[in-house]
Amino acid sequence: MTTAKLLLHCPDRPGILAEVTDFITVNKGNIIYLDQYVDHVENIFFMRIEWELKEFLVPREKIEDYFRTLYAQKYAMDFRLYFSDVKPRMALFVSKMSHCLFDILARYTAGEWNVEIPLIISNHPDLEQVARRFDIPFHCFPINKENKAEQERAELELLAQNKVSFIVLARYMQVISDQMIQVYPNKIINIHHSFLPAFVGAKPYHAAFERGVKIIGATSHYVTTDLDAGPIIEQDVVRISHKDSVEDLVNKGKDLEKIVLSRAVQKHIDRKVLAYKNKTVIFN
């Protein structure tokens, strides 16, 4: 059963919801999901709607054009249209730690996610053997201060060749530069190993240990040019105690990181995330 998924936001005005649902219903689309939300502070209307294409009277390839002409212009909408049978293509960026990588590849191999993973990119060779276990091409781009811009350009070319639509940083220990972020705006998902905005930057588990917190967290967010400050997609926490060493925090954190990152990636793949300014709307 192929479906269309429409995500939109625009200045809130009466009637938008009724008009959009009417457009789909009148054209014999069976709505199987609808969620909407109004940000009363910013006065923005957000909506996600999904309907079956089978009986839909507007041809698939013309939906976008019709919708833009009939509604998007009128309401100054920003919208994106997806079809359930088009799999997004995800690139994985890794460094040396394998827990997030294994978790993602296990889901991929088991068919849990509607996604393609054409390649894995790393700045270190260590995880090549993991990639090989799962038969996914592995490309190593060692990065230092001198070659960073050049290596990222090569990576961008490779990503383009592989028609990559979004990137997941699975504990990739390199700051992504602005040039790459601009090519993939709100399309690079990172996992930060703290409960942001606490412990921004490097070595958050050491910082958490020093502060003596009783709970640690992990945060998955879209990468923006402002380090660790992009729109948050998902967070979760786990309780610790004074008995936990930094190493214990690292180990407890690993389970958090992989689950939080995978939840964020799944929401992104399912087109349930709409980033607006520095926040996300998560449709459920």
Q: Which two tokens stand for residue 158?
A: 């490779």
Q: How is residue 166 annotated by DSSP? A: E
Residue from 102, 108, 3 nearest 53 by CA: 3
* 197 lies in the site for its own copies, by CB under 8 A: yes
Q: Which of 3, 29, 25, 164 is nearest to 83 (CA)?
A: 3
Q: Toward its own copies, which CB reaches closer, 159 or 222?
A: 222
Q: How far apart are CA 215 and CA 4, in angstroms?
A: 41
With H, G, I as helix, E, B as strand and everything else as coil, classify residue 98: coil
One residue of 75, 172, 199, 205 binding its own copies per CB under 8 A: 199
**Residues 23, 28, 33, CA angle at the centre, nearest 5°?**
75
Residues 86-105, mask of contacts with its own copies (x by CB under 8 A) = ------------xx--xx--
Instruction: Out of 60, 62, 80, 279, point to the residue binding its own copies (CB under 8 A).
Output: 279
The yes or no reply on residue 32 touching its own copies (CB under 8 A) is yes
H or E element in which residue 266 lies: helix 246-269
Respond yes or no: is residue 228 known to be catalytic. yes
Of the residues 228, 244, 255, 270, which is catalytic?
228
Q: Which of 1, 57, 61, 110 binds its own copies (CB under 8 A)?
A: 110
Q: Residue 89's beta-bridge partner residues? A: 116
Contacts with its own copies by CB under 8 A lie at: 14-15, 17-18, 21-22, 25, 28, 30-32, 34-41, 98-99, 102-103, 106-107, 109-110, 112, 130, 133-134, 195-199, 210-215, 217, 231-237, 239, 241-243, 245, 251, 254-255, 259, 262-263, 278-282, 284
Q: Which residues are catalytic?
A: 228
